[in-house]
Structure 1
Amino acid sequence: MQHSLLGIHHVTAIASDPQRNIDFYTGVLGLRLVKVTVNFDDPGSYHLYYGDREGHPGTIMTFFIWPGAPRGRQGVGQIHATAFSVPQTSLGYWIKRLLEHGIQYEGPTTRFSEQVLTFCDPDGLIIELVAHLGEQTDSVWENGTIPSEHTIRGIASVTLWEDEPEQTARLLTNTLGFRLVSEEQNTLRYELGTGESGTRVDVRNANGFWAGSMAAGIAHHVAWRAATDEALQKWQGLLDDHDYNVTPMLDRQYFHSIYFPEPGGVLFEIATDPPGFAINEPVELLGTRLQLPSWLEAQRAEIERVLPPLQYKR
């Protein structure tokens, strides 16, 4: 299909402290802060974006900052873990780095024939590092805290916990174009396209487990990539025809997107690759100044008074 999904665009999660979030994702994990903006639906709170040097779709992790938010509860109907891809030879480096920063971790364990390290960010969000053979990129963040040969290459996959995984499976395979490629214990792996890193979603049968609650340390949604506005419009129509509760196309400034809940309750988004994060600041200066959409610029002074000051590269 010309409008086929291309893989993961980004994952968005909830954090409780913006400075601590920046310190962890740029300082410890070495990602680039590619955009400092606000939640368009709640302009009094930050929305932070991290990624590779240019903020390519597929490398993006974003956070809604809810200051002082309590910890959420992990459970069914949620994204259980977000996995980042690293070069296969880099796990030893990352184990040493986590130890140096006093971060507890599990692993390496083997899952679907891949080596995986698991740990949590300061809010308890479950993060994984997955070693992939041949994970190369021309867009590593050279000015970050990680040597270029060991940097995170992008988002590898997400793991969903589902009470009735069969319904989610039907959406993935019958509507969204995924195919089932592997099964291990209670988890099914689905892939898009040629199945490279960034095109995968793992669905775990967590039937009988308690329901999750959305707060700090919980992933809010996962977004899948659409190449163009035309492709996004086709997805909007298709999902509407199948009676999914899909939104109209929304302007998120750096992409256009639609949202809908999958049958198990996880919020899915489909987002366009363009126009990208350099639309309102050059690549060299990404993430160095608070960026507001045009419809909020008139309120800049008021918004800046409300937002807590941040220490980051300017």
Structure 2
Amino acid sequence: MENKILGLHHITAIAADAQRNYDFYTKVLGLRMVKKTVNFDDPGTYHFYYGDEHGTPGTILTFFPWEHIMPGRAGTGMATEITYAVPEGSLEAWRERLARFNVSSEIKEHFGEPYLSFTDPDGLQLNLIVPKTPDTRAPWQTDEVKADIATRGFHSTTLSLKEIDATAGVLTDIFGYRLLAQEGNRYRFITDAVANAGIIDLLALPDGQRGHTGAGTNHHVAFRVANDAIQMEFREKILSSGLEITPKIDRDYFFSLYFREPGGVLFEIATDNPGFTVDEPLEKLGSSLKLPKQYEPARGEIEKVLPVLK
């Protein structure tokens, strides 16, 4: 595979209630719980991964459900929208489905593509969009969310920024994206390295209020590379650009590098390898609590602290 950024790998956000978060994403939106583990730095908190059947990069939304954390405020210096691709003709069905769960939504449009805008129980901004080019990825289906409406994975994410030029430079000069279109203060960047999950929108908000991390906000955006050899080449590129970046960190299911781009958004570069089946077979993904090996001796104590999911 080419030495390129392959669009989005995953997006990580913050929630205030594990059960409520689990119910919304698996039951209302119909995503698969791909992995149930804990925060590497705070093993008393879950780390949930939702995605398609395999947990394919480009479909993975993850959460730290810190119980009773205060609400955050979306604003500049963070990712402020997460957009999933859905099939043509599905928006009205989604609008009706969300209404059944008392979730209000609104149909809008960007760049000629209609989308349904709504928030999760913590106020995290989500969109379901019908892309001009149909998304052919195979969806995860549930009894209630069938293939005719099911999400295909990420379409894009939006970064809200006081000033976009330096961030755009990271996307184009380091990550290989290009400016596709502009609509008002929204600038759409795309990579041709992948067919899906390859769009980043930059929203220029010079007078915008800075975001505050908490429940209902995004923690970081992870970009995808094929393996850790390519990942380390990008590490050198980022260091050469004058930005600081972490050493490679083993996250059990992928390897990670983290850096803060000039606009303030925390970026991650994550690998495809080794994937989510390293500790569970495909058919059992997300069915039991998996712990980083350093926490396995404390499993009993950790399980006492974590909320029991129904």
Q: Is contact 2:158-2:202 (8 Å) kept?
A: yes
Pairwise CA distance, 1:194: 5.5
Asked if 1:39 corresponds to 2:39, the answer is yes
Q: Give deviations 1:98-156, integer Å, cap 9, x for gaps.
A: 1211111121x220110111100000000000112422223x22345301221100011
Residue 135 of structure 1: aligned partner:
135
Residue 25 of structure 1: aligned partner:
25
TM-score normalized by structure 2? 0.97
Residue 174 of structure 2: aligned partner:
175
TM-score normalized by structure 1? 0.96
Residue 205 of structure 1: aligned partner:
204
Pairwise CA distance, 1:175: 1.5
Q: Is contact 1:26-1:145 (8 Å) kept?
A: no
Question: Could you say what secondary structure the match of 2:148 adopts?
Answer: helix
**Equivalent position amino acid for 1:27 in 2:** K
Change (3 A) 1:97 1:247: same
Question: Could you say what secondary structure the match of 1:173 adopts?
Answer: helix
Across the two proteins, how many residue pairs are aligned to each other? 309
Q: Give deviations 1:250-300, integer Å, cap 9, x for gaps.
A: 000000010000101000001001111111000100111000121211111
Q: Give deviations 1:52-92, integer Å, cap 9, x for gaps.
A: 11111110000011110111011111111000110112112
Question: Could you say what secondary structure the match of 1:150 adopts?
Answer: coil
Pairwise CA distance, 1:176: 1.4
Within 2, Cα distance between the matches of 1:236 and 1:251?
Answer: 15
Q: Is contact 1:73-1:218 (8 Å) kept?
A: yes
Question: Could you say what secondary structure the match of 2:90 adopts?
Answer: helix
Asked if 1:15 corresponds to 2:20, the answer is no
Question: Could you say what secondary structure the match of 1:69 adopts?
Answer: coil
Q: Is contact 1:157-1:202 (8 Å) kept?
A: yes
Identity %: 45
Pairwise CA distance, 1:7: 0.7
Q: Give deviations 1:198-236, integer Å, cap 9, x for gaps.
A: 100000111111111000000001100000111011111
Question: Could you say what secondary structure the match of 1:87 adopts?
Answer: coil
Within 1, Cα distance between the matches of 2:141 and 2:29?
Answer: 13
Within 2, Cα distance between the matches of 1:21 and 1:159?
Answer: 21
Give runs of aligned pairs for residues 140-159 of structure 1, distance below 5 A. 140-143=139-142, 145-159=144-158
**Equivalent position amino acid for 1:120 in 2:** T
**Equivalent position amino acid for 1:302 in 2:** E
Give runs of aligned pairs for residues 57-96 of structure 1, distance below 5 A. 57-96=57-96
Residue 268 of structure 1: aligned partner:
267
Q: Is contact 1:249-1:257 (8 Å) kept?
A: yes
**Equivalent position amino acid for 2:89 in 1:** T
Within 1, Cα distance between the matches of 2:242 and 2:93?
Answer: 47
Change (3 A) 1:195 1:189: farther
Gaps of 5+ in 2: none
Question: Could you say what secondary structure the match of 2:140 adopts?
Answer: coil
Q: Is contact 1:26-1:144 (8 Å) kept?
A: no
**Equivalent position amino acid for 2:183 in 1:** E
Question: Could you say what secondary structure the match of 2:96 adopts?
Answer: helix
Question: Could you say what secondary structure the match of 1:149 adopts?
Answer: coil
Pairwise CA distance, 1:195: 6.6
Within 2, Cα distance between the matches of 1:192 and 1:136?
Answer: 17
**Equivalent position amino acid for 1:209 in 2:** G
Gaps of 5+ in 1: none
Pairwise CA distance, 1:2: 3.1
